[in-house]
Structure 1
Amino acid sequence: MIHFVLLISRQGKVRLTKWYSPYTQKERTKVIRELSGVILTRGPKLCNFVEWRGYKVVYKRYASLYFCMCIDAEDNELEVLEIIHHYVEILDRYFGSVCELDLIFNFHKAYYILDEVLIAGELQETSKKIVARLIAAQDSLVETAKEEASSISNIIAQATK
């Protein structure tokens, strides 16, 4: 089981967090500070697994971001590396070569994509096509809602003149 997902920039800024196990806000802050210190100081030639507090943290660096997932000690690290890569590939397809700014300005989409891939810390969807179709459907719903809101506000503006 995946306990949490962190996306951390090379400067140590948190870009995305998703918690599947209960942590208080104080514990979350401590975990982020502790793990970012451990992961950011590791050399690039070292393996992508870190033993931490009885768990394993699996991470992978893509461009300027570290994608980290905390798993149980007995879980398969290579499977989690594949899940990370799967998530990054879906982000790449959606944003067209995803970068840190895409995740900063469209964080809601990054969370939505993560929620389509993982549910309750377990892999839900392995098909990139299905995830892309679901995201496209959600985008069209958002556009429809924006158009309806715009037309309603136009009607109200004309009625109040």
Structure 2
Amino acid sequence: MIHFVLLISQQGKVRLAKWYSPYSQKERSKVIRELGGTILSRGPKLCKFVEWRGYKVVYRRYAGLYFCMCINHEDNELETLDIIHHFVVILDRYFGNVCELDLIFNFHKAYYILDEILIAGELQESNKKTIERLIDAQDLLVETAKEEANLISKLIAQATN
């Protein structure tokens, strides 16, 4: 089981945090500080697995972001690395060579994509084409809702004049 997912920039800023286990806000801040310091200080040639508080943290650096997942001690690290890579590939396909700014300004899309891949800390969907279809359908719903909201606001403006 994945307990949480963190995307941390090289400056130590959290760009995405998804918690699948209950942590208080104080604990979350402490976890981010501890893991951020631990992972950012590790050399690039070191192993991508860190033992932490009886769990394993699996991370991988893509461009300027560290993608981190905390798993149970008995879970498979290589499978977790594959899930991280799967998430990055889908982000790349959606944003077209994803960068940190894409995640800052479109964080809701990144969370939606992550929610399509993982549910309750378990892998839900591994097929990239299925996830792309679901994301496209969500984008279409959002556009339709925006158009309807604009139409309604225009009707209200005309009625009040």
For Structure 1 versus Structure 2, the TM-score category normalised by the shorter chain is: over 0.9
Task: Output the CA distance in 1 between the equivalents of 2:20 and 2:155.
Answer: 44
What one-letter code is carried by the residue in structure 1 that aligns with 2:139? D
Structure-2 residue corresponding to 1:35? 35
Aligned residue for 2:47, secondary structure, equals coil
Per-residue deviation at 1:62?
A: 0.1
Aligned twin of 2:145 = 145
Paired residue secondary structure (2:56): strand
* Residue 122 (structure 2) pairs with residue 122 (structure 1): yes
Amino acid at match of 2:105: F
Alpha-carbon distance in structure 2 between the residues aligned to 1:71 and 1:78: 11
Partner of residue 65, structure 1: 65
Q: Which residue of the partner structure matches residue 132 of structure 1?
A: 132
- Per-residue deviation at 1:87? 0.2
Equivalent residues in 2 for 1:82-93, closer than 5 Å: 82-93=82-93
Equivalent in the alignment of 2:6: 6
For residues 56 and 117 of structure 2, the distance between their equivalents in structure 1, rounded to whole angstroms, comes to: 20
The whole-number CA distance in structure 2 between the counterparts of 1:159 and 1:78 is 61
Instruction: Output the CA distance in 2 between the equivalents of 1:159 and 1:6.
Output: 48
**Structure 1: distance between partners of 2:142 and 2:135:** 11
Q: What secondary structure is seen at the aligned counterpart in 2 of 1:143?
A: helix
Q: How many correspondences in the alignment? A: 161
Shift of the alpha carbon at 1:160? 1.1
Q: What is the TM-score when the length of structure 2 is the normalising length?
A: 0.99
What is the identity percentage for the equivalent residue pairs of Structure 1 and Structure 2?
81
User: What is the SS of the residue equivalent to 2:6?
Assistant: strand
RMSD: 0.4
The 1-side partners of 2:120 and 2:89 are apart by: 21
How far 1:159 sits from its partner (Å)? Answer: 1.1
- Aligned partner of residue 57 in structure 1, secondary structure: strand
Structure 2 residues not aligned, in runs of 5+: none
Deviations 1:132-158 (A, max 9, x none): 000000000000000000001101111
> Which residue identity lines up with residue 41 of structure 1 in the other structure?
S
For residue 16 of structure 2, give the secondary structure of its aligned residue in structure 1: strand
Separation in 1 of the partners of 2:152 and 2:74?
55
